[in-house]
Structure 1
Amino acid sequence: MKVPMTTVEFLDRAVDIYGDHLGVIADDGTEFTYNEFNERVNRLSNLFKKWGLKYGDRVAILSFNTHWLLETFYATNQLGIINVPLNYRLKPSEYDYILKDCGARVIICDSELTDRIEEIRAELPAEYYVAYDAKDAKGDWEDYEELLESSSPEQPERPDYDEDDVCTINYTSGTTGDPKGVMRTYRTEHWHALILSTHFQINDGDVYLWTLPMFHVNGWGHIYSITGNGGVHVCLKKVDPAEVFNRINKYNVSYLCAAPTVLNMLIAHYNDNPNITTKGDSHVRLTTAGSPPPQTTMETIENEFGWEIRQLYGLTEVAPFITTSHSFRFTTEENKYELKKMQGFEALGTDVRVVDNVGNDVEPNGQEIGEIVIRGNQVMKGYWNKPEATEEAFNAKRPGYFHTGDLATIDENGMCEIKDRDKDIIISGGENISSVEVENLLYKHPAVAQCAVIGVPSEKWGETPKAIIVPKGDEKPAEEEIIKYCKEKIAGYKCPTSVEYVDALPTTATGKVQKFELRRKYWEDSDKSVG
């Protein structure tokens, strides 16, 4: 029997089994059972129907991590309306492009963020503007709660779904050029939630704290997996380290996700408050992604916080979960941190390959570098309004596979380790240099809190490595000391030839350093950004 895979089944199951149980805790502490949450979802769906929204129409959401955002996901899903969650760190001009590109008919916005939309509102195609607390909004916005109060709580009639229709459009960040709208279908979202549940053992005893942005590829799938498994969502509007630890204790949080930048914030707060309680009565699991945390970070999380840290790897286009280094069979006490830093094994139902420039598999020896390409049920349908980019993404080297642009090795056990982004490889005097390798070395220096290594122009070498460092505390070792430190540990041609200290590195919402932003400063007089 074939039944379409959609996303509405996850809330349906929560209501059927856990309807009278706690399901969602709002940022202000308001609690909703799954029955109460579902009623609010129905009210919002019926509002959309009243406004004449149809299957395939788009609703954009600009919000922090709130119960309102969770509600909007399910309210759009059950009518076949496409939701477009927006990155709250963008500028008005970027929203202008995205909202016009997707053609959103409705914009739902946190009152605190309405000024960013007001600046461009006159040019937008949207017909309805809704704010969570309209009295605090900039401009003329309808009030979310008042609209819900006037709408019916009854289950609306659902459409006949095609599981391959677009469910959500997630716009990528951190790349050059216009953002690309990643089209994720009901099937890809459903499949992703299932494999996430399996690999990270999500269950009905879990209390999940939202520190990861919900907008980012739908909260890495936790919007659906936590709900479907009957867990509890604890919303946290903005990441504040003290409040993270407070809620972990108050609600006995058992699971959270955090980018490396958030881990750094938590560790800094812990170091300033060494007597703080890091967990409640539950064992705490933490999933991180983006750049692998330094070993010292992982050791602090596990040995001092008492949490279990796991890593996943992926991109918006592929769920984003497609590999994890979590393994009982291959992990030993001696190698566990080396494994945790790697991207790891392919997820269930996922075909991950590392291929050379003509699409052939590289040797699985942990040495030969190629590009990671992916085929699986959680891979995107394509880019919204960008057929050429879609064609290129699936056919550049290995037809039928999504091409990530990440350069990696794969070993005899099938474990991948990213060495660099394709465009982040530094070629100096004909030698390929992995910026990740140099960064990993710099992270071991006691004065380095964060760093990025980029190629900068060199008359002699074409380009040469430069280290950009966020210092740990007030100590800023001399440039010569940093260079000497590297030369003592890796080949001289790989070492930085210059060092710059900064207060912070530009990052995406998931903690990935935007190296193109760093390179722009040094290549502004050139029509390219490599030597």
Structure 2
Amino acid sequence: METPLIVTDFLEQARTYYGDEEAVIGVDGDRFTYDELGERVDRFSAALQERGIEKGDRVAVLDPNTHYHLEAAYGAMQIGAVFTPLNYRLTPDDYEYILSDAGVDAIYADYEHAEKVEAIRDDVPTETFITNDADVVDGEWEDFETVLEDAGTAFDQPEMDEDEIITINYTSGTTGDPKGVCRTHRTETIHSYLMTIYHEITDDDVYLWTLPMFHVNGWGHIYAVTGMGATHVCTRGVNADDVVDSITSEDVSILCAAPAVLNQLIDYYEAHDEPEMSGDNQVRVTTAGSAPPEATIRAVEDEFDWYLKHLYGATETGPLITISDAKRLIDDENRFEIKKRQGMGVLGTDVRVVDEDGDDVPHDDQTLGEVVVRGNQVMDHYWNKPEETEEAFNDRLEGYYHMGDLATVDENGMIALRDRKKDIIISGGENISSIELEDTLFDHDAVADVAVIPAPSDEWGETPKAFVVPANGDPNDPPVSADELTAFSREQLASYKVVRRIEYVKELPKTATGKTQKYELRQQEWEDEDRMIGEG
């Protein structure tokens, strides 16, 4: 028998079997059962339909990890609208591009972030604006609670097909404008199944939202945690004091954390005389992308007494395509070596590392190739970008999504990232375009030439570093200070993209045709590191 895979089934499953159980612990102390959460979702669905939102319309959600995000997401998807989560760290110009590109019809925005949407309101097609505290937001915004109170619970749920687009997740624009990653009911459902399996999520789990919900739908946790009937513990960003307090007071059992967050927690642990780092539940933590240094993994597992898993993927791939949690291959001697690798392909996923001819590289852990992947959790296409979609799936090997990362493969088939095919910087789990940063710095009159590369960072894994040729040609006496250039970039960019490391040079290494040889700069910057991708 074949039945369609529809994402709203996750909430329906929880309402059916866990209606009286605690679903959500809000940042303000509010607690909702799955029945109560479901009613609020129904009311938001009805309210959207009253405002003319139909199946296929785009509904954006700009919110930190609060219960409003869950309610708005499921409320939109229940009526077949396309849930479009937004990175709350972006600038008004970024939102203008995304809201216009996606043709967003309605937006819910948290009160702390609504002003950035208000600033470009007249330049986007969006007509419905809702926030969770209209009294503190300038402009004509409807209040979320009032909207729910005025709406009933009845709405018309359309027929939905598993191959229809239900979410658009925008990338961070590492090679120009952000790209809208289109995900279907089927891809979202299957990647959530994989999350449930490899994160070992069960109905008695208590999940702490340290990972942004906008981040490829929180790696699938808005679905997996809900569908299993587990408990969501919401946050308003990551603060080490609050994270530890939530873990101990709410008996958190699972969370996700970028290496930067793990380092924050280690600093907290050392500064507070080794406090308790768990409640009544054993804690599991997942990190992703560039592996944390061995010292970080050791502290998390040996000092915190947590169990760490390391996974790898991208917005386009669900994200989960590999994981290093191979218990039968791990012993005390190789534990950290294996946990630092991106690992082996997960169920139903064909992960390969291929050379420029599309042939698999030998499993010698030495030969570099590009990571490519094929699987049911991989995106359908980029929104309104057919050429980019074609290239992404057919560059070296036809029919595989090309990750843009270079890796080696060991004798067990486990991959390890070694370098990046394109000049992207992954800082604290966020993708940053070196091209965007270079263009920004070039706008300063005192900059004659510039190249930006990822530099190693104990806190963020990687951080942008700019090599600047000053306009007067004298790196020892440039016409603008490094601090002034940092301040200049802060005025133009989202906070996490700001260039804080600047080195003045007389010239940049160039090819015969005048192209900057960033590889030389990366080699220079990472010569004391094991790898050139912030793995330490």
Quote the residue 1:372 is aligned against. 371
Residues 372 and 402 in structure 2, CA contact (< 8 A), matched pair in contact too: yes
Quote the residue 1:28 is aligned against. 28
Quote the residue 1:381 is aligned against. 380
Return the offset for 1:290: 2.3
Residues 10 and 224 in structure 1, CA contact (< 8 A), matched pair in contact too: yes
Q: What are the residue-to-residue correspondences of 1:404-443 with 2, within 5 Å?
A: 404-424=403-423
Q: Which amino acid aligns with 1:90?
A: L
Gaps of 5+ in 1: 426-434, 440-452, 457-462, 473-499, 507-512
Return the offset for 1:424: 4.6
Quote the residue 2:61 is aligned against. 61
Return the offset for 1:55: 1.0
Return the offset for 1:160: 1.5
Deviations 1:247-280 (A, max 9, x none): 1011100000011111111111111112422110
CA 517–188 in structure 1, closer or farther in 2 if over 3 Å, else same: farther
- State, as a whole percentage, how many aligned pairs show the same letter: 48
Quote the residue 2:347 is aligned against. 348
Q: What are the residue-to-residue correspondences of 1:230-379 with 2, within 5 Å?
A: 230-379=229-378
Residues 354 and 408 in structure 1, CA contact (< 8 A), matched pair in contact too: yes
Return the offset for 1:184: 0.8
CA 79–529 in structure 1, closer or farther in 2 if over 3 Å, else same: farther
Q: What are the residue-to-residue correspondences of 1:153-192 with 2, within 5 Å?
A: 153-154=153-154, 156-173=155-172, 175-192=174-191
Return the offset for 1:309: 0.7
C-alpha separation in 1, matches of 2:72 and 2:357: 44
CA 368–100 in structure 1, closer or farther in 2 if over 3 Å, else same: same
C-alpha separation in 2, matches of 1:172 and 1:93: 15
Quote the residue 1:41 is aligned against. 41
CA 248–344 in structure 1, closer or farther in 2 if over 3 Å, else same: same
CA 293–514 in structure 1, closer or farther in 2 if over 3 Å, else same: farther
Q: What are the residue-to-residue correspondences of 1:203-222 with 2, within 5 Å?
A: 203-222=202-221
SS of the residue 2:186 aligns to: helix
Quote the residue 1:78 is aligned against. 78
Quote the residue 2:114 is aligned against. 114
Return the offset for 1:53: 1.2
Quote the residue 1:146 is aligned against. 146
CA 339–4 in structure 1, closer or farther in 2 if over 3 Å, else same: same
Residues 247 and 253 in structure 1, CA contact (< 8 A), matched pair in contact too: yes
C-alpha separation in 2, matches of 1:466 and 1:503: 15
Return the offset for 1:465: 11
C-alpha separation in 2, matches of 1:395 and 1:521: 40
Residues 7 and 224 in structure 1, CA contact (< 8 A), matched pair in contact too: yes
Residues 176 and 516 in structure 1, CA contact (< 8 A), matched pair in contact too: no
Residues 23 and 231 in structure 1, CA contact (< 8 A), matched pair in contact too: yes
Residues 344 and 415 in structure 1, CA contact (< 8 A), matched pair in contact too: yes
Return the offset for 1:138: 2.2
- Whether 1:530 and 2:522 are equivalent positions in the alignment is no
C-alpha separation in 2, matches of 1:106 and 1:208: 29
Return the offset for 1:214: 0.4
C-alpha separation in 2, matches of 1:503 and 1:172: 24
Q: Which amino acid aligns with 1:312?
A: L
C-alpha separation in 1, matches of 2:173 and 2:500: 9
Q: Which amino acid aligns with 1:263?
A: L
Return the offset for 1:524: 9.5
Please tell me the root mean square deviation across aligned C-alpha atoms, in Å: 3.1
C-alpha separation in 2, matches of 1:56 and 1:217: 19
Deviations 1:115-156 (A, max 9, x none): 1111111111011111111001122211010000011124x3
Residues 393 and 402 in structure 1, CA contact (< 8 A), matched pair in contact too: yes
Quote the residue 1:123 is aligned against. 123
Residues 175 and 516 in structure 1, CA contact (< 8 A), matched pair in contact too: no
SS of the residue 1:60 aligns to: strand
Quote the residue 2:199 is aligned against. 200
SS of the residue 1:342 aligns to: coil
Deviations 1:333-377 (A, max 9, x none): 110111000000101110001110011111122211100000000
Deviations 1:454-482 (A, max 9, x none): 9x9xxxxxx9998846589xxxxxxxxxx
- Give the paired residue count: 466
C-alpha separation in 1, matches of 2:104 and 2:453: 42
C-alpha separation in 2, matches of 1:167 and 1:340: 34
Gaps of 5+ in 2: 428-433, 439-449, 460-481, 490-495, 519-536
Quote the residue 1:481 is aligned against. none
SS of the residue 1:112 aligns to: coil
CA 140–528 in structure 1, closer or farther in 2 if over 3 Å, else same: farther
CA 64–14 in structure 1, closer or farther in 2 if over 3 Å, else same: same
Residues 131 and 143 in structure 1, CA contact (< 8 A), matched pair in contact too: yes
SS of the residue 1:69 aligns to: helix
Return the offset for 1:299: 0.7
Residues 520 and 529 in structure 1, CA contact (< 8 A), matched pair in contact too: no
